[in-house]
Every structure is written in C-alpha cells, then in structure tokens.
C-alpha cells in the first residue's frame, strides 16, 4: 500500500514548513499550504508579483517565499503570522510612498494583510516594480 503524502506542518502562527528550494514549485507548495484565507492572499500576491516583474525568480528559504531578479538576490518575501500575511520589502525604506509598517532594520518596510482586508493592488504593484529595480538583498 502506497503512503499518502502528508500535509506540510504549520509552524508558529500558521506558517507552512516547506523544504527550501528554488523555482516556482516550492513557492506554489508554500502558497497551497497557507492556512485558510491566507492561501488566497498568497495566490493573489504571487500573481501580482509575476505580472509586475516578468521573469521574476522565486525560492523558498527559511519557510518563506522569496522573490528576486538576480540569482541569490531578493527584493521581497512573504510570511504567515497568526492574524496576517506579512510582505517584507528588503529595501522598503527607499520606496515611495513608504510601505506602512516600519522595521528594526533601517532598510526594511512591511505590509501586513489581514483577513477580509482588500489589497491595494495598484499601490502594491507599484512597490513591487520599484523594489525590483533596487539593489536586492543577497541571501
């Protein structure tokens, strides 16, 4: 009898534990494992990022999807928390207007998306385009 694939474990705050890897497949596995309403948010963010930055590179690192334009250089990441989905712009302090949530790191800024909260898609897309043009974070 064949074993069935088990669902990814959810870590603290409901963040899916997905093996690290490069490309679209691990990112899609992460999005599919995002619990409840967060999965729809993850799919929409992924679609908006792909449309804003054709050929965007993707990876899952540290249980979070990362997006970049160069090998091993990233401009944003997504992470699940108990009450929201966090989008981290690694050079967000250089975006205009600034994303709304500050950071202890001087360059980073965040967007928190809560359940039943509409994404300002035009603003988000503009931030993604701006962020993709800035020097990325090497990780």
Cα diameter, the chain: 57
**pTM: predicted TM-score of the whole model, two decimal places:** 0.89
What was the pLDDT predicted at 31? 96
Phi first, then psi: give them for residue 48, nearest 5 degrees. -65, -40
d(CA 56, CA 72): 12
Which residues of the chain fall below pLDDT 50?
A: 1-5
Residue 104 CB burial class (10 angstroms; 0-12, 13-18, ≥19): exposed
What was the pLDDT predicted at 15? 75
What was the pLDDT predicted at 3? 42
Let me know if residue 4 belongs to a domain.
no
Let me know if residue 2 belongs to a domain.
no
Cα 98–chain centre separation: 17
Domain count, the chain: 1
Let me know if residue 3 belongs to a domain.
no
Let me know if residue 31 belongs to a domain.
yes
Residue 58 CB burial class (10 angstroms; 0-12, 13-18, ≥19): buried
Let me know if residue 100 belongs to a domain.
yes
The domain that holds 88 is classified in CATH as 3.90.1150.200
Let me know if residue 7 belongs to a domain.
no
What was the pLDDT predicted at 7? 65
What was the pLDDT predicted at 1? 41
d(CA 36, CA 48): 20
Residue 25 belongs to domain spanning: 12-138
Structure tokens at 14: 């409901």
Let me know if residue 107 belongs to a domain.
yes
What was the pLDDT predicted at 16? 82
């Amino acid at each position: 009898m064949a074993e069935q694939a088990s669902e990814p474990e959810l870590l603290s705050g409901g963040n899916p534990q997905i093996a690290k890897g490069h490309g679209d497949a691990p990112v899609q596995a992460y999005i599919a494992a995002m619990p409840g309403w967060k999965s729809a948010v993850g799919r929409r963010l992924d679609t908006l990022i792909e449309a804003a930055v054709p050929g965007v590179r993707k990876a899952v690192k540290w249980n979070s999807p990362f997006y970049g334009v160069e090998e091993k250089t990233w401009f944003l990441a997504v992470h699940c928390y108990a009450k929201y989905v966090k989008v981290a712009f690694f050079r967000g302090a250089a975006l205009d207007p600034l994303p709304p949530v500050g950071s202890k790191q001087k360059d980073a800024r965040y967007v928190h998306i809560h359940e039943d909260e509409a994404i300002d898609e035009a603003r988000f897309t503009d931030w993604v385009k701006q962020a993709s043009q800035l020097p990325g974070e090497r990780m």
